[in-house]
Amino acid sequence: MGSSRVSAQSMIEWFHATSAQPYRATVRVDSMVLYFVGEGNDEGVRGDIAFAQAIWETGWFSFPSGGTVSASDNNFGGMGAGNGTVARFPDAATGVRAHIQHLRAYADATVTVSNLANPLVDPRFTYVTPKGKAPDWQDMGNGNWAADPRYAAKIIGLYNDLRDFAGLPPV
């Protein structure tokens, strides 16, 4: 929880300097970053780390063939992919909103539908029980969001690469 610590401009520049994958998202990365920062600010979720998670989940927004989620799903967190019910969203802005709302459900024990900053679009929000069960990124593996016990370390590693690019110390 909290505000992005890396600027949107640094996030965009880092992405362009780092990604070698074909970009297949439905909007330009500049817009994608602004969605993550804006929605994150609205909900008090770190949009910069959420963006790093989206990069990991989507293969740098390349949505590799053979994956469960496709670019047209506008699902940047793999929501529902683990149980075969992939969440699909009409546009990237809605997909990012759902992703941020889902992260808030994991991190904030006080969150309810009525105290979300924006109308609920996350179809899996009610499945996160108890709310706030993963208040830190280090809690996001071992069945919290992902089964991989190294999931959180992978996201934080990617995020630290972003922070290094922006001239910030690692977390």
Q: Tell me the per-residue pLDDT of 122-153, one tens digit each, with 9 for 90 and over.
A: 999 999 999 999 999 889 988 788 888 899 99
Please report whether residue 32 resides in a domain. Answer: yes
Mean pLDDT (whole number) for 102-109: 98
C-alpha dihedral (50, 56, 60, 62), degrees to nearest 10: -120
Token reading at 101: 């709302």
Please report whether residue 170 resides in a domain. Answer: no
For residue 81, is pLDDT > 90?
Answer: no
Cβ within 8 Å of residue 11, ≥6 positions away: 33, 36, 37, 48, 51, 162, 166
pLDDT of residue 117: 98
Single pTM value for the model: 0.96
Residue 57's identity, in one-letter code, is E
The residue behind tokens 């110390």 is 169
Please report whether residue 124 resides in a domain. Answer: yes
Please report whether residue 2 resides in a domain. Answer: no
Residue 26's identity, in one-letter code, is T
Our count of domains for the chain comes to: 1
Please report whether residue 108 resides in a domain. Answer: yes
pLDDT of residue 146: 86
pLDDT tens string 17-32: 999 889 999 999 999 9
